[in-house]
Amino acid sequence: MKFSRRETLGLIAAGSLSAVTGCKETQTALPSSPADLADMDAIAQTELVKSGEMSARELVQAAITRIEALDGQIGAFTDFHPERALNQADKVDTSLPLAGLPYALKDLNEYPGMKLERGTAMFKGNMGEKRSKYTQKIDNSGAIILGKTATPEFGLLGTTEPLAYGDCKNPWNLNHSPGGSSGGASAAVAARMIPMAQAGDGGGSIRNPAALCGIYGLKPSRGRFPDQGNPKRDIEISIKHAVSLSVRDSALMLSLTEKPKGRLDPVGFISGPDGGKKRIAVTINSIRGEAPHPDVAKAVEEAAGQLETLGHEVEFVETGPGLSKGLFDDFVVLWGQSVVAIVQAAEQISGKPARESGLLEGWTIDLSDRYLALDAEYRDAAMKRLKQGGAKLRRWLEGYDAWLTPSAAMPAPPLGWTRGDLPYEQNLARSSELVAHFAIHNVAGTPAASIPFGFSGGLPIAVQISAALGKEADILSLSYDLEKARPWAHMKPPLSA
């Protein structure tokens, strides 16, 4: 629903975005209505600017007001620059596709004049100096960067509780995690502080928090964007994109940031379902043979039924693509490979063993230690198995238009479920359970999206739709189908604008 510039300013002036008070353990909801600006997705908000109904400054100021009211309880932002954002809004070209959009970057991305702390004491107070090609594309879209959002140390856990900075909490229940590693981004969007935020995914870190916060999260194909990834890994698993209130927001940001030329054909802006009937495989258990939470399993079955009702062909496949049950163990080897240099740097900086330096969490050091304890033959074999598993999945997916599975295997866990100071085996077991349906798509490079699909005990749950490499258009089409059949944008957390 649109409303006039005068009505928008009236909402703000009348205090519809009043401050939240009380202790952090108390959830206090802000007043809202169906016509509230905060309920609009990114495209709807920027249309107000492009039509002249609001100025970019007014749009950004409204987001600043929401963040100031809510974030003291949630902890989504690690760096916040309201004055800079307002100055940028005053200068934005209103013809740009996302002109004036209040946006934020996950704090694993460098950006000039903003902190780059990566969720670790090792980089506390560190400041960014430059833009990447990817963040330059975000700037070129007209989006206004308000600040940075919380991540676990180096994005290495599926919850967002960095020991050096404090917990990020789920706005659906402040005693629970928003997931990770894009936990701050997802919490901010779920609470309607901003309608979309940049996120990144190296093992489920877009899809996991999107699922746990009740919003949409698409992990695109490997090779879709410029300058993505970690050159220290044998297999490139990380990719950046966004979490959003709507499918169309994510689809538009994809079209604005993807490579115009490359080995993958550009997706372009997919603005709705294509109307085609698709062949969809459905698997409920993980590749480890583990069943998800019963409510998540039920959600997958209901989503399959919904898609079948819409005319798609649905085929239940019990074992999925037949991948190795040991894939997650090999995946952890890949994680460890990327942090060895970090641990060595911490020891050089402090002049002490890593565990005595106070610069790194135990989980980061554990990953490095476990990797270094492996002989070269085992490491090479693990990388070979991962590459073979990824290739197997890519081939298998070519036989279907999409694959429907659980997203996060459970509702949001309580705070403390995984943390950087817990025993290695505990973090490992719980992380493998949480990302059971995610990591293989990072290994294969295939696209996948988390789609909200109900609740369990008052917490959101979701399903995942994936597809063959480069087939984001099929995922987006089916996402639009489910968004229309089972809308989620009106379902707001107790703590939200």
- Residues 465, 475 contacting (CB under 8 angstroms): yes
Is residue 271 flagged as an active site residue? no
Among residues 16, 186, 205, 368, the one annotated as catalytic is: 205
Cβ neighbours, 10 Å, residue 384: 12
To the nearest 10°, report the CA torsion of 259, 216, 97, 54: -160
Alpha helices for 75-217 (secondary structure H) = 82-91, 133-140, 183-190, 207-213
Closest CA to 449 of 166, 254, 192: 254
Among residues 106, 115, 471, 492, the one annotated as catalytic is: 106
Percent helix, percent strand, percent coil in the chain, to nearest 5: 40, 15, 45
Which residue's entry shows tokens 């004036």? 100
Tokens of 395: 């081939």
Q: Which residues of 53-89 are buried (b: 16+ CB within 10 A; e: fewer)?
A: bbbbbbbbbbbbbbbbbbbebbbbbbbbbbeebbebb
Run of H or E residues at 241: strand 239-244
Among residues 55, 177, 181, 244, the one annotated as catalytic is: 181
Degrees (nearest 5) of the Cα angle 71, 7, 15? 40
Q: How far apart are CA 233 and CA 235, in angstroms?
A: 5
Q: Which residues of 405-434 are buried (b: 16+ CB within 10 A; e: fewer)?
A: bbbbbbbbbebebbbbebeeeebbebbbbb
Q: How far apart are CA 193 and CA 65, in angstroms?
A: 9
Is residue 471 flagged as an active site residue? no
Q: How far apart are CA 487 and CA 497, in angstroms?
A: 19
- The order of strands in the sheet holding 279-282 is 196-201, 239-244, 216-219, 448-456, 459-466, 402-406, 279-282, 313-316
Is residue 181 flagged as an active site residue? yes
- Residues 222, 195 contacting (CB under 8 angstroms): no
The catalytic residues are 106, 181, 205
